[in-house]
Structure formats: C-alpha cells, structure tokens
C-alpha cells in the first residue's frame, strides 16, 4: 500500500492532553517596548517563535542572531513582512566567538537578551561532548558575561528538564550553565534568570517530527513502551520565556506547570489516530530501548530546589542550588581545554566529577570499562 508523503494538518495542542496555557502578555511585555532586544539562536524553533512574539510589542530594534544563514534569513523575512515598521536586523555570528560577540554588543547595546542558541538534539550530540562544551557551556558563558560587561538590563537563558539529574551530555551541559548564570546573578546589576522547559512539541530534534515521518511512510512508529515526558507547545514556551523575563528578580529558575507527564506511546497512538489510521492495524508500533542519554521519566526539580508560586498559577519559581563559583570557573576552564583536544571521555569524567547527580549514559560507561 502506498502512503502519502504529506501528513494531514493537525494542531499540536491536540497532543498535549490538557488545555494550552494562553498567557496575556500585553502588560507583562511592556519591558520590551522601545528597547533593543537580542535573540540568540533566532532561527531555531524557540528562537523564531520568540521573535514573532516579541515583534508584537514594538521593540526599538530586534536583533536576530544565529550561525545558520538560511534559518536567520527565513525568520528575518517573516518578521519584516509581518511587522514592516519594525527595525529587525539579521546578524550572522557564532556565540563561541568572543571578539565577534563583543562587536555585536558594542554596536547595538542590547537591553534585553533571550539566549536560546544551543545544540539540543539529545541523541546526536551525545557522541560529541566537546561540541556541547564549546557551544552550550562556553558560548553561554561568553554571551552572559558580555551581558554583564555591557550593562544589559535582563538576560534570560533557556534550559531543560534534562538538566535535572542529567543522564545525557546535553542535560549536564545545561546544568553547568544554570550554575554559571546563577553565579553571575549574585553580584550583577543585570537581571539573570533561567527558564526550564519540558519537551517542546514540533521543535527541531523533538519526537513529533520523527513520528510524523514514520507515519507518513507507513510505519512502524518506534517508541519505548514505558517512557514518559512533559510536553508543551512552541507558543507556550515562547510566552513563558517572555513572562519570565518580566517577573525575574535575579537568579531564579522559572518552570511551567505542564500538567502530568505523558506516556510517549500515548502520543504516538494519538498521532496515528489523528491521521485516520488504526494503531497496530494500519500503522504498527515497534518497541525500542531508550536511546543513549534518554531517561525513562523526566523531572523538573532537583530534590534540594525549593519552589514557590508566582502571580501566574501556571508558573513556578525554583530557588537554584548554589555552588562554589571558583570551583565552577576552574571546571569550565578544564572542560574548555579538554574540548579543544577532543578528549571526549575526559570531558564526561570531568562533568561527572563536578555534577554528582550526573549519571553518564551507557555510551560512555561502556567506553570507560574498556
């Protein structure tokens, strides 16, 4: 039987298992009005949606920064077309390049920065920890420290639930960056906050595009039978980021109440049915093991993080763990050197040494045993 290549359109919020959280941003987004706003990773799933949302609130300048020229071109064209009066500027730059980033800050003097740039494809990047160090850890350190140096008013970093008791390199790298941002917040006049996400439906590297492709090709849909995840939509994620930027006082981690974690197999079954197919009849399900770096169940909080409510009952604030800043700086310096030498196993061991909750995946524990 031949299967269509183009999937039937359906709204991703149909997969949430809950009502989508729709936040009215008119009042809380006033801090963006008439300001120069910089979005790193502006061509990515979250970054581009942030640009769309921010554009509504009439910033003085919107800076779209990224390495990928096609993705930056695409979101620049969209913003320019939808908001013709907005001064929107594309910037091709690498957050790992200190001199280039300094040029950007010097030339444009951003007041608000949303830092979304990161390698985030868990399965792919697990084998390349040196790139997590260079891009996610060192890149974040560069853009956040320059924010402090150039007097940026607010800096919001995107993190992940995979940073809680991490079992993947991506999560461990984000956990280290959470600590680094919190460390800056202790003494800086810049307001530094972190937003911790669950899985974003439809984002690059998420499970939804893979399931869509598998269903379009007639199956099978490959899924772990017991794994669960927290899910949110891209617009939900962008609205949370903007609201967190308004609410943050300094050093907090903002978390969205995403309801109950959902079995991934339920997501797969629902997607098959939304295509008018019958799971197990028209489209087969194939059970697989967890990928290297995957957890059976994700968590949003560590055991030691206190949590409190905000004015928005769907948003919580975690008070992050505090660590020795000198030890953190020394660890990042060592990781930078190890990454430059592509000493992958040493990077994993250094991360595990600094992060007691980090349990490296089988990809690395097997190599260590050799």
- Please, what is the Cα angle at 50 between 46 and 52, to 5 degrees? 120
What's the CA dihedral at 334, 339, 343, 349 to 10 degrees? 50
Residue 315 Cα distances to 224, 236, 310, angstroms: 30, 11, 6
313 is catalytic: no
The count of other CB atoms within 10 Å of the CB of residue 273 is: 13
Residue 331 in contact with residue 354, Cβ under 8 Å? yes
How far, in Å, CA of 211 to CA of 213, rounded?
Answer: 5
Residue of 134, 141, 162, 165 with catalytic role: 162
Write 318-326 long-range contacts (CB < 8 A, 24+): 318/196, 318/252, 318/253, 318/254, 318/255, 319/252, 319/253, 320/178, 320/179, 320/182, 320/194, 320/251, 320/252, 320/253, 321/179, 322/182, 322/186, 323/179, 323/183, 325/183, 325/186
The position carrying tokens 């972190």 is 194
The count of other CB atoms within 10 Å of the CB of residue 69 is: 11
Structure tokens at 178: 């959470």
Residues near 80 by beta carbon (within 8 Å), at least 6 away in sequence = 86, 88
User: What phi, psi does 299 have (nearest 5°)?
Assistant: -130, 155
Residue 317 in contact with residue 310, Cβ under 8 Å? yes
Residue 108 in contact with residue 61, Cβ under 8 Å? yes
Question: What residues are paired with 39 via a beta bridge?
Answer: 64, 114
Active-site amino acid positions? 162
């Amino acid at each position: 039987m031949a299967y269509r290549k183009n999937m039937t359109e359906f709204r991703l919020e149909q997969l949430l298992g809950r009502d989508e959280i729709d936040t009215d941003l008119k009042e809380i987004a006033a801090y963006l009005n008439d300001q120069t706003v910089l979005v790193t990773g502006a061509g990515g799933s979250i970054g581009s949606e942030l640009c769309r949302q921010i554009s509504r609130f009439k910033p003085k300048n919107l800076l779209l920064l990224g390495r990928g020229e096609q993705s930056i071109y695409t979101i620049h064209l969209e913003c320019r077309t939808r908001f013709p009066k907005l001064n929107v500027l594309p910037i091709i730059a690498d957050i790992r390049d200190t001199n280039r980033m300094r040029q950007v800050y010097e030339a444009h003097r951003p007041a608000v920065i949303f830092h979304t740039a990161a390698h985030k494809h868990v399965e792919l990047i697990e084998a390349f920890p040196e790139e997590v160090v260079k891009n996610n850890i060192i890149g974040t350190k560069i853009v956040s420290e320059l924010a402090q140096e150039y007097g940026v008013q607010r800096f919001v970093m995107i993190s992940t639930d995979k940073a809680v008791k991490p079992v993947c390199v991506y999560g461990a790298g984000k956990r280290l960056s959470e600590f680094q941002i919190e460390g800056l917040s202790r003494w800086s006049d810049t307001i530094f906050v972190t937003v911790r996400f669950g899985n974003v439906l439809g984002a690059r590297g998420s499970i939804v595009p893979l399931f869509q492709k598998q269903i379009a090709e007639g199956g099978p849909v490959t899924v772990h039978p017991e794994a669960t995840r927290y899910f949110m939509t891209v617009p939900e994620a962008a609205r949370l980021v903007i609201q967190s930027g308004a609410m943050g006082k300094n050093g907090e981690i903002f978390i969205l109440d995403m309801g109950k974690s959902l079995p991934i197999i339920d997501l797969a079954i629902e997607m098959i049915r939304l295509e008018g197919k019958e799971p197990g009849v028209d489209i087969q399900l194939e059970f697989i093991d967890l990928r290297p770096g995957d957890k059976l169940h994700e968590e949003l909080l560590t055991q030691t993080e206190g949590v409190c409510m905000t004015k928005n009952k769907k948003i919580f604030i975690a008070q992050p763990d505090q660590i020795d800043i000198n030890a953190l700086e020394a660890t990042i310096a060592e990781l930078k050197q190890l990454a430059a030498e592509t000493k992958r196993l040493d990077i994993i061991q250094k991360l595990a040494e600094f992060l007691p909750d980090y349990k490296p995946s089988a990809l690395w524990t097997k190599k260590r045993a050799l």
